[in-house]
Amino acid sequence: MTLILSLSLPAAAAARESALSGGDILLLHSQSLDEDDLTNLRLLADAATALGRSLDLAEPGEGVTHLKDYKLVICYDLAADPILGRRLLDSQTKLLALGGELICSLSPAQALSNAGDNGVLTAAFSGGEDYGAIVSLPRTLYRLEGDYQSGSLEALTGTVPFCAGDDSLRYIPLTDMSADLTRAALMWELSEFLWEYDGQPPQRGQYWVLDNVYAYMPAQELLSKIERLAEAKIPFVISVNPTFQNGDYPAMGQFCQVLRYAQTVGGAVILRVPELRAKISDWATFSTRMTEAVTALTDHGVYPLGYDVPYSWLWEEDALTWMRRSRTVFLHADEAQANFTRQTRRNIAYDNYNNLIFPVLDLAKGGQNTVLQFPAAQRIPASVSARELEANLQRVKNNRNSYYSLWDSDQSLWADNLHLSYHADAVTLNDELQSLRYTPEPYEENYDYHRNMLTRFTVSIQNESHFLIGLVTVVTVLFLGMILYARVQARKYFFYPREKGEKQSEEKGGK
């Protein structure tokens, strides 16, 4: 009844229609949304963003007059409604029904009763291996016949396709997007359904990232990993944590030498924003500090080609504004709650025009992306052992993914007082041409750290403490060795005379 009234009151809806300006996807949802629904809607919006598609959210009464302005209308868990169903079909827009009973108002569908709470989803991608997962089933499950079918959903009382329909209408029974396989299968269906040309949608760039690299980690350890990556001929990205002070220290220079070498063998550097315990309240100060971090690298001939930011920033308007400082932005997983509410109307990250690189959807748990229709980065920690690195490189060699280099496309990065650009194989910093040539530099042994008396005294005490600890260790080992030697000798001399005397007594008694 509520839905019918909302459709019969265009004046009430008109006040809210101005936000719907058309685009790729219109997602219709009911007015009553719980927290699980909000999570599912956010994941759907994130999927659209990853696929490079705009997505607007609206209730049916608001969106029904804009159906023709979109390439695809997704109906999320809507009840059966003949009036809405007729309006949707008359729009001649592609339709995707996710769960709910509305599919009965769009096409003949057979209900599957007593399906159970859980089922088994099976799906394959691009002719690859089958993947399976246990998923939560909706309250009602329908079987839709059609020329198109993919995947399967096995319930207690039968099996239905994961996605079924034709060129204009498709139905997916699931609304719970918490399972990786569900999201992967949905993204595959969206990319294929929205593709307007012959063949399958093109694959997007996949990236290999050496993650969490710190300025003062052992330079030789980092160098050995970079040399192995260069030997394997894999384009790679190094995500570097920022350095805000002591950028002129010899250790920083040595670290940047390794990064400069990486730039000459196919590696690209991106700058990771620091881990924050609270939301940023002063973005001007944050920008100043990040400018210092960029300058600490560029002063040593290292040129970051992008930023590495938390995934939750996709829903923070201030964060998105700051992200416009870089053409390419990598997203890493974080624990912060996304700012997605009942009032959210659009996947706002789409309007940022960043080249967003998402975390992988790794169904095989081998580090590689399964759905190749969106750009993604597989990450391996910089602290990984040589053995684990070799195992990862072997998996990379055996999989079907093609890895991209950030040097293959134009890049731009801004800070408060500089503009870094890469175009036509040339790096410019504030319009001045920079050299990517690597020239080894000697490590400065007698660097003046400008320490005051207290600091020098502290460093001296620390150095002397290390010497004393080493000396005490050596003396202790020698002392324990002497004690052990003395005990062995004492035991030897204690038992030997006794054994000799007993033997002489036995000889005399025998005579």
Pairing state of beta strands 94-98 and 70-76?
Answer: parallel
pLDDT score recorded for residue 13: 42
Q: Rounded to whole angstroms, how far apart are CA atoms 40 and 186?
A: 12
Q: Rounded to whole angstroms, how far apart are CA atoms 435 and 223?
A: 21
Block residue for tokens 């093109």:
202
Tokens of 193: 């359904």
The strand order across the sheet containing 432-434 reads 411-415, 418-423, 426-429, 432-434
Backbone angles phi, psi at 247, to 5 degrees: -65, -15
Q: Rounded to whole angstroms, how far apart are CA atoms 71 and 24?
A: 5
Low-confidence stretches of the chain (pLDDT < 70) are 1-18, 127, 246-247, 400, 443-466, 492-511
pLDDT score recorded for residue 421: 97
Q: Rounded to whole angstroms, how far apart are CA atoms 43 and 340?
A: 10
Q: Rounded to whole angstroms, how far apart are CA atoms 122 and 454?
A: 67
- Domain covering 206-434 in this structure, CATH number: 3.20.20
**What superfamily in CATH does domain 2-194 come from?**
Class I glutamine amidotransferase (GATase) domain (3.40.50.880)
pLDDT score recorded for residue 509: 53
pLDDT tens by residue, 437-470? 988 877 666 555 555 555 555 655 666 666 778 7
Q: Cα–Cα–Cα angle for 395, 400, 406, nearest 5°?
A: 90
Q: Rounded to whole angstroms, how far apart are CA atoms 230 and 218?
A: 19
Q: Rounded to whole angstroms, how far apart are CA atoms 29 and 359?
A: 27
Cα 63 to its chain centre, rounded Å, is 33
Could you tell me which of 417, 416, 438, 434 has the C-alpha nearest to residue 425?
434
- Are 56 and 34 a contacting pair, CB within 8 Å? no
Q: Rounded to whole angstroms, how far apart are CA atoms 209 and 379?
A: 5
What is the SS3 assignment for 417-485? Answer: CEEEEEECCEEEECCEEECCCCCCCCCCCCCCCCCCHHHHHHHHHHHHHHHHHHHHHHHHHHHHHHHHH
- Are 261 and 254 a contacting pair, CB within 8 Å? no
Tokens of 291: 């400018």
Helices (H), ranges, 305-432 = 317-323, 386-398
Pairing state of beta strands 236-240 and 206-213?
Answer: parallel
- Are 170 and 193 a contacting pair, CB within 8 Å? yes
- Are 123 and 185 a contacting pair, CB within 8 Å? yes
pLDDT score recorded for residue 3: 40
Domain boundaries, the chain: 2-194, 206-434, 451-492
Backbone angles phi, psi at 428, to 5 degrees: -125, 145
Residue 157, helix vs strand vs coil: coil
pLDDT score recorded for residue 452: 53
The strand order across the sheet containing 130-136 reads 130-136, 118-124, 152-155, 158-160
Q: Rounded to whole angstroms, how far apart are CA atoms 109 and 101?
A: 10
Query: Which pTM does this prediction carry?
Result: 0.84
Pairing state of beta strands 94-98 and 169-172?
Answer: parallel
Could you tell me which of 350, 352, 351, 374 has the C-alpha nearest to residue 361?
374
Q: How far is CA 212 from CA 68, 238, 394, in A?
A: 46, 8, 22
Residues facing 270 on adjacent strands: 239
Block residue for tokens 């049916």:
60
